[in-house]
Amino acid sequence: MPRAILLRPTLGSLLIAAIVAACGGSGEESPAAASAAEAQAAAEARPISVVTTVAPLRSIVENVAGDRAAVAALVPEGVNSHTFEPPPSAALSLAEADLIVLNGLSLELPTLELARANAVDERILLLGDNTVSADKYVFDFSFPAAGGVPNPHLWTDPILSVRYADLVRDALGRIDPDAAGYYADNFARFRDQLTALDAAIARATATIPPDSRKLLTYHDSFPYFAPRYGFEVIGAVQPSDFSEPSPREVGALVRQIRDAAVPAIFGSEVFPSEVLQVIAREAGAVQVSTLSDDDLPGAPGDPENTLVAMMVENVRTMPTALGGDPSALDGFDVADTWGRFAEYEERA
């Protein structure tokens, strides 16, 4: 996709000024001045380089940055972001990036360490750390308080994703102030889409019988999503070390599911697990293995390869399995919003 021209001060612009002054205003361009002008033009044509980690963050950044940035995600889709180790080659990408966008909250510690070794802190944006205060952190099944690391999956709540996008808008505006208005416009359209998504999710999940609004997932990804829409997260299969649960833990989960009369338990395409099948069978619950927290539908470049599309698919899955009606999400526009003018229903 074509990238817009960036008008940012560079070292080349200073060199041109110096060369013009040295020429004494003769009106003739020296070879050195011409070369410097060419270098300046090349520098200004380069899009802003943004490096991030998981695909949902890439989607957020792309919606705000539009065509003024080249956005790269270090964590391949389908890879466990909690255990991902960046390859040595990532050091160069991080060193050359104008902006490094991480979730933070200890999700990508190896990547954060590599970023800090290759870039100044002013170029590193930690979204989660700047979105919720410490008193709002969620410590739960896979992220116990004793470990001191909160659950980092804020982006599954669309309203927290709005805050993520807000932070990205501000960071891009500081790097590229001439385009601050462009980023603000892109943010506003994306905010409206996320706000409309929030309203549609609320309508769809409200159709689930209250006694069935219980989530037991393999990967502990929905602790910020759940309270917003009236769910209770009653457990997670995957322990805090991201291994498979022990037989004792499996037995405890089976009893918990039976006691809570949970009609369905949810797995993940990223974390296929035979243990989940055993738990569902022993507990008499339906197993649904299509929830995702960071694996976007489609492939990069597809209209559905977005955070919004991922959440629409998730919320279609939940009411269907729990006795509700997901039709409130029918026809929801999941494509990126930058560069187009769409109207979205505001939540009351």
pLDDT in tens, 247-289: 999 999 999 999 999 999 998 766 667 888 899 999 999 999 8
pLDDT of residue 106: 95
Is residue 6 in a domain? Answer: no
Same domain, 52 and 194: yes
- Among 176, 198, 220, give the residue marking a domain's end: 198
Cα dihedral 166/315/153/310 (nearest 10): -70
Report DSSP state, residue 70: E
Establish if 344 belongs to a structural domain.
no
Beta-carbon count within 10 A of 117 CB: 10
Does residue 337 lie within any of the structural domains? Answer: no
Q: Mean per-residue pLDDT for 335-343?
A: 66
Q: Is residue 263 part of a domain?
A: yes
In a domain, 311, yes or no: yes
Regarding whether 190 and 74 lie in a shared domain, the answer is yes
CATH number at residue 177: 3.40.50.1980
31 lies in the same domain as 79: no
Within 8 A by CB and 6+ apart from 61, the residues are 50, 52, 69, 71, 101, 168
Same domain flag for 163 and 118: yes
Judged on CB neighbours under 10 Å (0-12, 13-18, 19+), 22 is exposed
Q: Which of 171, 198, 225 is the last residue of a domain?
A: 198
CA distance 277 to 45: 53
Bridge-partner residues for 102, per DSSP?
126
Count of structural domains, the chain: 3
Please check whether residues 53 and 190 belong to one and the same domain: yes
| pLDDT band, very low/low/confident/very high, at 242 (cuts 50, 70, 90) | confident
174 inside domain: yes
Query: Do 96 and 37 belong together in one domain?
Result: no
Residues 220 and 296 occupy one common structural domain: yes
The pLDDT score that the predictor gives to residue 120 is 94
H helix and E strand count, the chain? 11, 8
**Rg (alpha carbons) of the chain, rounded to whole number:** 23
Which of 31-35, 41-45, 93-97, 255-259 shows the lowest per-residue confidence on average (mean pLDDT)? 41-45
pLDDT band of residue 114 (cuts 50, 70, 90) is: very high
Q: How confident is the model at residue 35 (pLDDT cuts 50, 70, 90)?
A: low
Identify whether residues 56 and 194 lie together within a single domain: yes
Query: Which domain does 107 fall in, by range?
Result: 48-198
Give 190-215 pLDDT, tens digit per residue: 999 999 999 999 999 999 999 999 99
Cβ 59 vs Cβ 79: under 8 Å? no
Q: Within this chain, do residues 99 and 194 fall inside the same structural domain, yes or no?
A: yes
Dihedral sign (CA 114, 116, 120, 123): positive
The pTM of the full predicted model, rounded to 2 decimals, is 0.84
